[in-house]
Amino acid sequence: MSGTREDYIIYRIQKSSEIFEDAFLLFNNQRWNSCVNRLYYSSFHLLNALLYKHYLKHETHNGVKTQFNLHFVKNGLVDIKFGKLYSTLFDWRQESDYADFIDFDEDTVTPLILQVKELNNIIIDLINNK
C-alpha cells in the first residue's frame, strides 16, 4: 500500500460512499440480493477504515465483525442494535452470494437502506472521533 494511514482511511470512506450509492441504484431497480450485498460492503469498508485507524488487526470478514463487536459494540460506543445489524448484513451477504434459492424482497430490503445509512454515519463519526 502506498500513501499515508490517512490516505487509506479517506480511500475507504470514499469507496463506502460510492458503494452505498450503488446499493441505492440497485434498490431502485428491484435488485434486492445485489442491494443487500452492496449495503454490506458499504459498512465493511468503513469498518476497515475504523479498525485501521485504531490499529486493530483482522484477516477476514469475520475478523472485521468480531473486532467491531469487541471494541465498539461491547464497550458501548455503538448501540448493540447496530452490532446486530452488521451481523445480519454479514450473514445475508454470504447467503445471497453462496446459497441457492435466497431471494430477498422489497419488504426486507427497504428498512435496511436507512438503517445502514445510520450505521455508516455512526462509523464515520467514530473515525472522526466524534
CATH number of the structural domain spanning residue 73: 1.20.120.330
For residue 103, give the DSSP letter: -
- Could you give the 3-state DSSP secondary structure of residue 90? helix
Residue 97, domain extent: 5-127
pLDDT category, 101, cuts 50, 70, 90?
Answer: confident
Number of domains making up the chain = 1
For the question of whether the overall pTM of this predicted structure is more than 0.85, the answer is yes
Q: What is the pLDDT of residues 23-66, one digit of tens each?
A: 999 999 999 999 999 999 999 999 999 999 999 999 999 999 99
Q: How many CA atoms lie within 13 A of 32 on its CB side?
A: 13
Residue 1 has pLDDT above 70, yes or no: no
